[in-house]
Amino acid sequence: METIPLTWYIALSTVLFFLGAAGVLLRKNIVIMLMSVELMLNAVNINLLAFSYYLDDMRGQIFAIFTITVAAAEVAVALGILIALIKRRNTVDIDQIDTMKG
């Protein structure tokens, strides 16, 4: 059985990371920005798992599990805050959300 080369995993991870970075930098919808951050975290997880497999070391897999756990907690908290904010302001546009301005 032939394995997939490491460079393919790195290329996939790079494309996903830059798509996520573009989503964070170019979009004004706060929900899309949150999904883009998750896409960036998944790109990092692909790298962790690929290098863990090719280096035959379990530390990358363990760290990926912790990253997934932190990302799940981040999504739960962020979605709760966003839902409350969207209900209060009736918008998902990041430029119109200025609640913390003094």
Sketch out the chain's domains with CATH numbers: 28-96 (1.10.287.3510)
User: Taking the model in full, what pTM does it have?
Assistant: 0.83
What number of CA atoms fall less than 13 Å from residue 69's CA on the CB side?
Answer: 6
Is 32 within 8 Å of 23 (Cβ atoms)? yes
Question: Which tokens is 47 given?
Answer: 């790298």
Q: Per residue of the chain (102 residues), what is the pLDDT tens digit?
A: 788 999 999 999 999 999 999 999 998 888 898 899 999 999 999 999 999 999 999 999 999 999 999 999 988 998 888 888 888 878 777 777 766 665
How confident is the model at residue 96, as a pLDDT? 73
Q: Measured between alpha carbons, how far is 86 from 80 in angstroms, rounded to an integer? A: 10
> Burial of 11 by CB count in 10 Å (0-12 exposed, 13-18 middle, 19+ buried)?
exposed
pLDDT at site 81: 84
| DSSP 8-state assignment for residue 58 | T
